């Protein structure tokens, strides 16, 4: 007869079984957030250009003019919301300015993220920047109809455009972590609102109301939108595959060639081929970067925006 396992071994086996159950439960709870983010990527052929990229050439930091920062409040979706506006101290009355919405990650706020990620170092005097505050330092990424964050973005744009010289044809968004996910959600929910957006350490929209013919999730009325996904290869919080998948997702939505890319002015970034001229999709995989914003993210984002 087979001897019974020692008590210490039985205890270890029970502990391993409990851990397996715990991980299974965690996976079940997290499933809505992970669905669609880790699909197998197609093998992609990369063409090395012998000329500067027309989609994302090498950028450079812009001279930072004197800027004026103010805090404002607005009511959106029945809630009192706040945001920080960063604008050139002297606005030219005959000039129309681009507007960039910049979204912080979970646990942050607009003012703190502006200190950490001053986008004006890239946009210079060419753009007005908005850093909204999330409710309880976070964003609603789940609501499919009447999403409060989407309404907030629209209300801020309308309010600022009513008193500042904003070019509605050049509305952009960028975000970090959950703010990167939010940039994706806004582009998905409000077709035609954004000219382009970028996402750092984020991912694509998930669990939306409709489905594309190939099974990808879809927002009602969703339209192609130029986008760039940036992600650290050492991200410990939002896996690299999440950012990679967001580029794959928008490449499909935009009608790009799924298995062909080309080099850009940044070694870390590659652009999909076959996209419509103003609906480019770029993927940037940054070696050595963890769960944070690449130090060239603002520069690369503004260069990308300007080319769209």
CATH number assigned to the domain comprising residue 247: 3.40.50.1820
What are the tokens at 117?
């990620």
DSSP alpha helix (H) spans, 63-167? 110-116, 120-123, 148-161
Is 250 part of any domain? yes
218 located within any domain: yes
The pLDDT, as a whole number, for residue 11 is 55
Q: What is the rounded CA–CA span in Å between residue 257 and residue 255?
A: 7
Domain enclosing residue 85, as ranges: 56-254+286-307
More confident residue, 15 or 119: 119
What pLDDT shows up at residue 29?
34
Task: Tell me which residue of 270, 283, 278 sits closest to 306, measured CA to CA.
Answer: 278
Give per-residue pLDDT as tens, 96-118. Answer: 999 999 999 999 999 999 999 99
User: pLDDT band for position 69 (50/70/90)?
Assistant: very high
Task: Compute the mean pLDDT over every residue in the chain, rounded to the nearest whole number.
Answer: 90
Separation of alpha carbons 270 and 260, rounded Å: 10
Residue 133 CA to residue 105 CA, distance in Å, equals 10
User: What's residue 155's pLDDT?
Assistant: 98
The alpha carbon dihedral of 198, 204, 205, 211 has a sign of positive
Reported as a pLDDT band with limits 50, 70 and 90, residue 59 is confident
Tell me the pLDDT tens digit for each residue of 5-27. Answer: 455 545 554 544 444 434 333 33
Q: Report residue 41's pLDDT band, with 50, 70 and 90 as the boundaries.
A: low
Task: Report the percentage of the chain scoring pLDDT > 90.
Answer: 82
Query: Would the CA dihedral through 163, 92, 84, 298 be positive or negative?
Result: positive
- Torsion angles phi and psi, residue 127, rounded to 5: -145, 155
Is the residue at 278 inside a domain? no
Question: What are the residue ranges of helices labelled H in the chain?
Answer: 7-34, 110-116, 120-123, 148-161, 178-189, 240-254, 297-307
β pairing state of 166-176 and 196-200: parallel
**Total number of domains in the chain:** 1
Is 130 inside any structural domain?
yes
Average pLDDT estimate for 279-301: 98
Measured in residues, the chain has a length of 308
- Six-digit token string for 172: 């952009």
Contact 208, 217 (CB under 8 A): yes
Pairwise CA distance, residues 253 & 208, whole Å = 14
Q: What is the pLDDT of residue 61?
A: 75
Residue 103 lies in a domain: yes
Longest dimension (CA), the chain: 93
- Cβ–Cβ < 8 Å for 72, 244: no
pLDDT by residue (tens digit) across 149-162?
Answer: 999 999 999 999 99
Q: What does the alpha-carbon distance between residue 306 and residue 55 come to, in Å, rounded to a whole number?
A: 9
Q: Are 199 and 226 in contact (CB under 8 A)?
A: no
Instruction: Please check whether residue 223 lies inside any domain of the structure.
Output: yes
pLDDT value of residue 65: 86
What local confidence, expressed as pLDDT, does residue 154 receive?
Answer: 98
The structure tokens 């990229």 sit at: 53
Average pLDDT for 285-292: 98
Q: Tell me: pLDDT of 83 over 70.
A: yes
Residue 13 has what pLDDT? 45
pLDDT value at residue 40? 55
CB atoms under 10 Å from CB of 102, counted, come to: 26
Residue closest to 95 by CA, chosen among 124, 55, 121, 117: 124
Is 32 within a domain?
Answer: no
60 occurs within a structural domain: yes
**pLDDT by residue (tens digit) across 228-271?**
999 999 999 999 999 999 999 999 999 999 999 999 999 999 99
For the chain, give the percent of residues with pLDDT over 70.
86
pLDDT of 24: 37
């Amino acid at each position: 007869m087979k001897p019974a396992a020692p008590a210490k071994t039985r205890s270890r086996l029970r502990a391993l079984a409990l851990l397996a159950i715990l991980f299974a439960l965690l996976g079940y709870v997290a499933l809505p957030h992970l669905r669609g983010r880790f699909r197998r990527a197609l093998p992609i052929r990369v063409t090395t250009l012998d000329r500067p990229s027309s989609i994302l050439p090498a950028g450079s930091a812009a001279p930072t003019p004197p800027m004026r920062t103010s805090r404002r409040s607005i009511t959106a979706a029945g809630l009192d919301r706040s945001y920080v506006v960063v604008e050139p101290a002297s606005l030219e009355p005959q000039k129309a300015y681009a507007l960039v919405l910049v979204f912080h990650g979970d646990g942050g706020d607009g003012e703190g993220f502006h200190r950490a990620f001053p986008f004006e170092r890239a946009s210079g005097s060419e753009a007005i920047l908005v850093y909204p505050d999330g409710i309880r330092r976070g964003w609603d990424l789940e609501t499919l109809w009447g999403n409060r964050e989407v309404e907030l973005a629209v209300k801020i744009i309308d309010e600022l455009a009513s008193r500042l010289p904003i070019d509605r044809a050049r509305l952009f968004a960028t975000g970090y972590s959950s703010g990167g996910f939010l940039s994706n959600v806004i582009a998905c929910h409000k077709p035609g609102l954004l000219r382009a957006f970028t996402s750092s350490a984020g991912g694509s929209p998930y669990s939306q109301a409709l489905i594309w013919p190939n099974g990808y999730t879809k927002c009602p009325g969703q339209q192609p939108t130029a986008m760039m996904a940036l992600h650290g290869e050492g991200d410990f919080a939002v896996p690299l595959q999440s950012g990679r998948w967001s580029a794959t997702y928008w490449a499909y939505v935009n009608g790009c060639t799924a298995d062909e890319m080309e080099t850009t002015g940044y070694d870390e970034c590659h652009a999909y081929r076959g996209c419509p001229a103003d609906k480019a999709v770029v993927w940037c995989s940054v070696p050595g970067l963890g769960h944070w914003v690449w130090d060239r993210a603002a520069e690369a984002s503004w260069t990308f925006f300007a080319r769209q």
